[in-house]
Amino acid sequence: MIGIDAASLEKLWIDGQACDSQSQETYPLINPFTGQTLAQMARGGQAEALSAIAAAARAFPLWSRLPGNERANRLYKAYHLLRRYRAELEALLIEDLGKTSREAAKEVRSTGAFLRYCAEEARRIFGDFVPSPDPKKRVVVVPQPVGIVTAITASNAPGILFGRKVAPALAAGCTLIVKPAEEAARVTLLLAQLLEGAGLPHGAVNVVMGDAPAIVETLLGDPRVAMVTFTGSVQVGREVMRLAAAGPKRVVLELGGVAPFIVFADADLQAAVEGLVSAKFRHAGQICASPQRIFVEESVAEAFKSLLVERLARVKVGDPRDATTEYGPLQHQRNLQKIQRLLEDALARGARVVTGGHSPGGLLFAPTLLEGVTDEMAIAREEAFGPLIALATFRDEAEVIERSNNTAYGLGAYVYTRDLARAWRLAEALEVGIVGLNDPFPATIEGPFGGVKQSGFGLEGGRYGVEEFLLKKQISFSLA
C-alpha cells in the first residue's frame, strides 16, 4: 500500500517526486459548481518540461528493456492500486470537474479497465517472420517502443484519457511526460503516483501542468521526444501538428466532432430517446463523441419530439454531489459562452427553442433542444461541447447520409433502425471513425477509437492503441 500526501496533488510530478515550479508560481483550482477555490496548483513551464524530458530519458532504457510480462505485472499492480484509491479518484472528479457521482464511478472503472487491458497487451506484443526471396536469408520484424512520448490530455475525461494514452504507451515500453488540462491535474497526478507505487522506474511517468504554450513548445521542440498524443480542439491540434512536424514526430490527434444521431421511422422511438439522452447529456454534453445533430425521418418526427421533450423535462441538472443529479455544471465560463453564441446564431437564422435554452445559474445549463435547424447554422458545423442538440428531419436514406457527412468532422455517429441491412449500409457510408447501431455507447476498451477528417487521425484503444506506440524494425540475417 502506498501513501498519498494530499499536498503532493498540488505539485508537479517529475522523476518520481512531487515538486514546486522553479518560479514558485501557482494557479487556483476552482470547483465549477460552487466557485470555491480548492487548491493552489504549481504552475510549471519550460524549466519543468526540460526536467521531465530528462527524467523520462533516464527511465526509458530501464522500462523499455523489461520483458513484456514484467511490464504487465507492474501495470496489473497499478490497476489493483487504482481500485484501492477509487474513492479518492471519484471525489476529485466530482470536486474538480463537476462530474456526478455516477459519472465519476464509471470513469474510474474505465480507467482501471484500460490499465488491466494494457497489462494483458504488454504480454502480446509480437513480431513477424517475413518470407525472403533469397533462400540464404531470414527476415524478421521486431516491434520496439517509439521512445519518449508527450501526452496532452483534455479536462473532460482525464481518467479515461490517461487510460487511453498512458497505459498503452507503458505497455509498449515507452516513457512519458503528461501535460494535463489545468482543471484535471489532481486526477492525473494521483494516477501517476499510483503507477510509481506499482514499481515503475522514477521518471517513467511525469506530470507537468501550467504554462501550456511554454510546456508544449518545449516538449515538442526537443529531439528526445519521439511522439505526441493529443486530445483537444481542432485549433490547438493544428498547432500541435505544426510543432511536431519540425521534428518530425509521430502524432496521434483526437479532436472532437458534431456527431449525427439518425432515427428512422421503423426505430424503437422510446429506445432512441433514451439512447440520445444517455449519450448526449452525460457530463453536461462535454464529451467529444456525443451526438449533436439529430436527424429524424419526417413521418415520425413529431412523435419522436414529443417523447424527447417529455424525457428532457425529467433531466435533473444541479449539484453533482447529489446522487439524483443527471448532470452538473460546465467546466468553464468559455464553454457557457460558446453554447450561448451557438444558440443566438441559430435563433437569429430562424431556429426555435423547443425546451431549455437558459442557465439556471452559475455554469449550469438546461438541456436544450432546437428545431428548424439548417445545415448552414453554426450549431450544425461547430462542436457545442455542452447540453445543446439540434433537431432536423429527413426524407430518405440518401439525404440523411449526405447531410450527416456534410461536415468537416468525422468522429462518431449513431443510427437507430430495425432494418439490419439499412443499418449496415449507414455504418459503411458514414464518414466517421466509430458508429453506434442502436447503441448509444459504441466505444469499447478493446476496440479502436479515433476520427477522420478534422476529427484527427491515429487510434486509441485495444491492440490498435498499443501499436501506435511501437516501431517495426526489420532485421535481415544472412545464412551464407
Q: What is the 3-state secondary structure (H, E, C) of 251-291?
A: EEEECCCCEEEEECCCCCHHHHHHHHHHHHHHHHHCCCCCE
**Whole-angstrom Cα distance, residue 260 to residue 246?**
36
Peptide bond into 32 cis (omega under 30): no
For the question of residue 254 being annotated catalytic, the response is yes
Q: Among 95, 107, 196, 254, which one carries the catalytic annotation?
A: 254
- Cell output for 180: 494535463
Q: How many residues does the chain have?
A: 480
The dihedral sign for the CA sequence 333, 339, 342, 343: negative
Answer yes or no: are the C-beta atoms of 339 and 386 closer than 8 Å.
Answer: yes
Answer yes or no: are the C-beta atoms of 149 and 250 closer than 8 Å.
Answer: no
Pick from 1, 53, 43: which is nearest to 22 by CA? 43
For the question of residue 344 being annotated catalytic, the response is no
- Cell output for 445: 476498451
Q: Among 288, 382, 383, 460, which one carries the catalytic annotation?
A: 288
The dihedral sign for the CA sequence 83, 84, 89, 94: positive
With the CA atoms of 34, 37, 39 and 45 taken in that order, what torsion angle do they form, in degrees rounded to the nearest 10?
A: 110
**Whole-angstrom Cα distance, residue 173 to residue 71?**
8
What is the separation of C-alpha 158 from the centre of its chain, rounded to a whole number of angstroms?
7
* Residues labelled catalytic: 254, 288
